[in-house]
């Protein structure tokens, strides 16, 4: 397990509270990501393509109501990496009970996983990635990587670093602040 990089925009809460975060992992790799291109009718778009399968993973958590975000970069996905993510996340937000909405990935339910006291995992229904707001953030980040070719992982990591650094809390909140989630948190008195 190799932690490659940590990203965080942290605001330490002044008092204890309950916070809701959407959490997920996403793969960023050298294999070319294709997307739509505007061409004339009947003209197939041309572009360079590479099939390299070298990649790294970003583990992320975002708070849809405020746009606050926490990211760690790893070489792969497994329960050890997820444990490190949970431990780092717990330390970043020690004064609040943090509800993390997660999918049903096997490493989220690993028997050897030790959930920190200030984290509660909220499992979404299986096969429903569209219910997790962070999926829209991944799409937003990867939109800028379409048809891009990188010579090595370092180049790609530099680009992803910049994309994450350029994220504002306003952008994150607008992408992830699903009205049904914000309304539910409001009614529950969490937001």
154 vs 21: CA distance, rounded Å: 29
**Helix, strand or coil for residue 138?**
helix
pTM of this structure: 0.82
136 vs 67: CA distance, rounded Å: 13
Tally of structural domains, the chain: 1
Here the CATH number for the domain that contains residue 146 is: 3.30.420.10
Q: Is residue 177 part of a domain?
A: yes
Structure confidence at residue 55 (pLDDT):
86
Q: Is residue 10 part of a domain?
A: yes
Q: Is residue 41 part of a domain?
A: no
> By residue range, what is the domain housing residue 90?
3-29+50-184
Structure confidence at residue 13 (pLDDT):
46
Structure confidence at residue 11 (pLDDT):
42
99: enclosing H helix or E strand:
strand 96-102
Whole-Å CA distances, 45 to 49, 136, 165: 12, 26, 31
Structure confidence at residue 180 (pLDDT):
84
Splitting the chain (191 residues) into consecutive groups of 10 residues, what average pLDDT does each group show? 60 65 92 63 64 85 96 95 97 94 93 94 91 94 85 91 96 92 82 66
Q: Is residue 22 part of a domain?
A: yes
């Amino acid at each position: 397990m190799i932690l490659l990089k940590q990203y965080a925009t942290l605001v330490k809460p002044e008092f204890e509270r309950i916070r809701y975060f959407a959490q997920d992992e996403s793969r960023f790799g050298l294999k070319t990501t294709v997307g739509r291109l505007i061409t004339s009718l009947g003209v197939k778009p041309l572009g360079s393509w590479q099939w390299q399968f070298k990649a790294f993973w970003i583990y992320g958590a975002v708070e849809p109501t405020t746009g606050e975000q926490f990211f760690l970069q790893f070489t792969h996905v497994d329960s050890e990496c997820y444990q490190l993510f949970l431990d780092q996340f717990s330390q970043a937000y020690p004064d609040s009970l943090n509800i993390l909405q997660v999918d049903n990935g096997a490493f989220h339910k690993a028997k050897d996983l030790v959930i920190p006291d200030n984290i509660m995992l909220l499992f979404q229904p299986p096969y429903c990635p569209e219910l997790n707001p962070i999926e829209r953030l991944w799409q937003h980040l990867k939109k800028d990587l379409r048809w891009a070719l990188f010579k090595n992982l370092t180049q790609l990591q530099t680009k992803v670093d910049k994309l994450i650094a350029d994220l504002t809390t306003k952008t994150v909140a607008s992408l992830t602040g699903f009205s049904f989630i914000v309304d539910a948190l409001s009614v529950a008195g969490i937001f």
